[in-house]
Amino acid sequence: MSLLVVGSVALDNVETPFDKIENALGGSSTYISLSASYFTAPIYLVGVVGEDFPKEHIDLLQRFGIDITGLEIIEGGKTFRWGGKYHYDLNVRDTLFTELGVFENFDPKIPESQRNPDFLVLGNIDPALQLKVLDQIESTKFIVCDTMNLWIENKLDELKEVMKRVDVLIINDSEARLLTKEPNLIKSARMIREMGPKYLIIKKGEHGALLFSEDKIFSAPAYPLESIFDPTGAGDTFAGGFAGYLDSTDDLSFENIKRAVIYGSTMASFCVEKFSVQRLTELTKLDIRERFLEFLELSRFNEK
Ligand code: AMP
């Protein structure tokens, strides 16, 4: 078992209708690796931060057993910063600012000893960088990829190259529609799978997620949370739980991929309960297992 994660490591300012936080630990690879760390090891994180990145955040990643040999710290550089503001409808988010800092010249370098991971998770970064990562991988069993509207709108050619080389693409419903210009999600999913990925997961926020393979569809419910505090990182946390669970089982059957979708949803449901990565740092394996079992009950019914 081994899982390599490449993505952003960030300092986030987040405003919700309830509260706000500044300089919180964020970034796609942070959420992915913390989430996956409840399932598998070793986890290798490749990314970049500046000299301003607080040591306490490095310590936190290491406390969760995450190998940060591939995390570059650029002297005199500034860490990637992102600011977001959520509306009363927490599905609506405005990006307040994006300061690329050291991310602007990020050239991912995978340490030699990490070029044969069992699982590779390409967090949401420029698809040109995702291609650079793929070119350095010597062998792997399974590649999970996330992306966002920014790249669909601005780097479509590179994204299409990435899609030909990954096993699972994870996107949300609006991104699927944007990518295919097709409003019907089932048709859209078929079109996306024809672009390359064997499996596609379409997340629908508080309405759950759909998993598509060549001939099967699985619909996962969303966990009915009464208070959602901060949705930041939910998608990345989903990807981390999904990939971490699969890596821990060495079973790539459709039935097991369905379970992985539920573990991804379980982890995402925890993530949104508190600001930043806080909730992801205080879970026990029992908390996760119990909520996973609650998911079973949510949609189980008898024929008669
Ligand atoms: P999510 O809520 O899943 O979209 O993920 C939010 C995280 O993504 C935040 O912690 C941000 O720091 C990070 N992020 C936002 N925009 C970008 C971007 N353009 N590239 C890489 N990471 C980003």
Judge whether residue 32 has pLDDT over 90. yes
Cβ 241 under 6 angstroms from ligand 1: no
pTM across the whole model: 0.97
Q: Are 48 and 9 in contact (CB under 8 A)?
A: yes
189-230 pLDDT per residue, tens: 999 999 999 999 999 988 899 999 999 999 999 999 988 899
- Phi and psi (nearest 5°) for 9? -120, 125
Per-residue pLDDT averaged across 231-247, rounded? 97
What's the gap in Å between 194 CA and the centre of ligand 1? Answer: 27
- Phi and psi (nearest 5°) for 124? -70, 95
Q: What top-level class would CATH report for the domain 3-8+27-40+108-299?
A: alpha beta
Judge whether residue 91 has pLDDT over 90. no
Determine the pLDDT at residue 205: 82
Cβ 118 under 6 angstroms from ligand 1: no
Cβ 244 under 6 angstroms from ligand 1: no
Judge whether residue 89 has pLDDT over 90. no
What's the gap in Å between 290 CA and the centre of ligand 1? Answer: 29
